């Protein structure tokens, strides 16, 4: 529970536009589910972000970082902590030569558009990933044969003890849906990407093609957190779910997508408990049918067994 002293300290320094209380996480996640968080902080700049996290550390109150909430499931009971949202206000993107510097709150779509306008190729794969650069760096986001580590040169990060450090691509230790920053609890502040010059029209055409392919194959018309399960080595998660007979499997308002079995979607006012039940049932059924235990790609907060 966030105490009054911390609330007042945040309000004094950041103002009531940047600090709110009892905010439904359903408003901040693409699943459109989740109970209230005690305190939501939306820093206007990097200095405010550093202050907020330091204030939480000094008060002994947990602070969790969220971007656009595109890979997150929050329990119906909500969160008894501070959530710091890095998006919108911390989203500047600049281009110099073949280099793109993006603040952590910039959406992948925004970065891809800026790169395209500058005639820089390499970030097209991320143009439809519904998250931020900070999130992409943390989880080594990837799609259609591309990954964040393919184009990232370095990161600027805040360490758990409050130091701002530069992290090289080698130090980031990226692998499939993993990074050193995630493991060590670093907060990504910005990223430097090294891209390649190309014809803007050709880049735009590739982005449009990827957008069409996503729209054809993925249930983009329904709230979800994107691909629900990690890809097991040697398998495709969606096919395992389909082969287990779970296409359209439903609990309450949550359902395995009938369009792509790798997605769990909110079809009709789902609760977080509905979504969690579908995920757990899919894991059990796939293990029974194929002997493979699917691991969620979605982060789960506020449940007895969390995936951070």
Tens of pLDDT, residue by residue over 43-57, are 999 999 999 999 999
- Using the predicted structure, report yes or no on whether residue 308 has a pLDDT greater than 90: no
Contact 267, 278 (CB under 8 A): no
Model pLDDT, residue 238: 97
Catalytic annotation, pick one of 46, 124, 147, 297: 297
- Using the predicted structure, report yes or no on whether residue 132 has a pLDDT greater than 70: yes
Catalytic annotation, pick one of 48, 154, 227, 257: 227
Tokens 């009892």, residue? 22
- The tokens describing 112, both together, are 């891809």
pLDDT classification of 127: cutoffs 50, 70, 90? very high
Classify each residue of 288-300 as buried b or exposed e, where b means 16 or more C-beta atoms within 10 Å of its C-beta: eebebebebbbbb
Average pLDDT score, the chain? 96
Model pLDDT, residue 1: 84
Cα–Cα distance for residue pair 238/224, rounded to 1 Å:
15
pLDDT classification of 307: cutoffs 50, 70, 90? low
- Would you call 96 a catalytic residue per the annotation? no
Q: What is the pLDDT of residues 104-125, one digit of tens each?
A: 999 999 999 999 999 999 999 9
Percent of the chain with pLDDT over 70: 99
pLDDT classification of 66: cutoffs 50, 70, 90? very high
Contact 150, 172 (CB under 8 A): no
Read out DSSP for 105-143? TSBHHHHHHHHHHTTEES-GGGTT--SBHHHHHHHT-EE
Q: Which domains does the chain have, with CATH numbers?
A: 4-85 (3.30.43.10), 93-217 (3.30.465.10), 237-301 (3.90.78.10)
- Would you call 91 a catalytic residue per the annotation? no
Give CA 111 to chain center in angstroms: 15
Model pLDDT, residue 51: 97
Residues 6+ apart with CB under 8 A from 64: 79, 81, 82, 83, 84, 301
Contact 248, 265 (CB under 8 A): no
- Would you call 85 a catalytic residue per the annotation? no
Catalytic annotation, pick one of 85, 177, 231, 250: 177
Q: What is the pLDDT of residues 142-196, one digit of tens each?
A: 999 999 999 999 999 999 999 999 999 999 999 999 999 999 999 999 999 999 9
Model pLDDT, residue 141: 95
């Amino acid at each position: 529970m966030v105490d009054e002293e911390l609330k007042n300290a945040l309000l004094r320094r950041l103002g009531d536009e940047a600090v709110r209380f009892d905010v439904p996480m359903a408003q901040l996640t693409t699943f459109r589910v989740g109970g209230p968080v005690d305190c939501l902080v939306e820093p206007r700049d990097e200095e405010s972000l550093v202050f907020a996290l330091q204030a939480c550390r000094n008060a002994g109150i947990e602070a969790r970082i969220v971007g656009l909430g595109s890979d997150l499931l929050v329990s119906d009971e909500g969160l008894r902590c501070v959530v710091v949202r890095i998006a919108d206000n911390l989203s500047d993107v600049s281009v110099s030569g073949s280099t793109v510097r993006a603040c952590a709150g910039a959406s992948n779509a925004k970065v891809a558009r800026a790169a395209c306008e500058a005639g820089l190729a390499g970030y097209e794969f991320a143009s439809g990933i519904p998250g931020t650069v900070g999130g992409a760096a943390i989880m080594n986001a990837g799609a259609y044969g591309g990954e964040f580590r393919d184009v990232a040169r370095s990161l600027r990060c805040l360490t758990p003890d409050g130091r701002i450090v530069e992290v090289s691509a080698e130090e980031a230790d990226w692998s499939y849906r993993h990074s050193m920053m995630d493991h060590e609890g670093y907060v990504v502040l910005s990223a430097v990407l090294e891209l390649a010059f190309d014809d803007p029209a050709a880049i735009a055409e590739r982005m449009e093609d990827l957008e069409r392919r996503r729209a054809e194959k993925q249930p983009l018309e329904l709230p979800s957190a994107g691909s629900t399960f990690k890809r097991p080595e040697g398998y495709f998660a969606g096919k395992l779910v389909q082969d287990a007979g779970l296409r359209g499997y439903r609990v309450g308002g949550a359902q395995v997508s009938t369009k792509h079995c790798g997605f769990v979607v909110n079809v009709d006012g789902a609760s977080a408990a509905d979504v969690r039940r579908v995920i757990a049932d899919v894991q059990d059924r796939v293990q029974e049918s194929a002997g493979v235990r699917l691991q969620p790609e979605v982060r789960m907060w506020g449940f007895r067994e969390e995936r951070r």
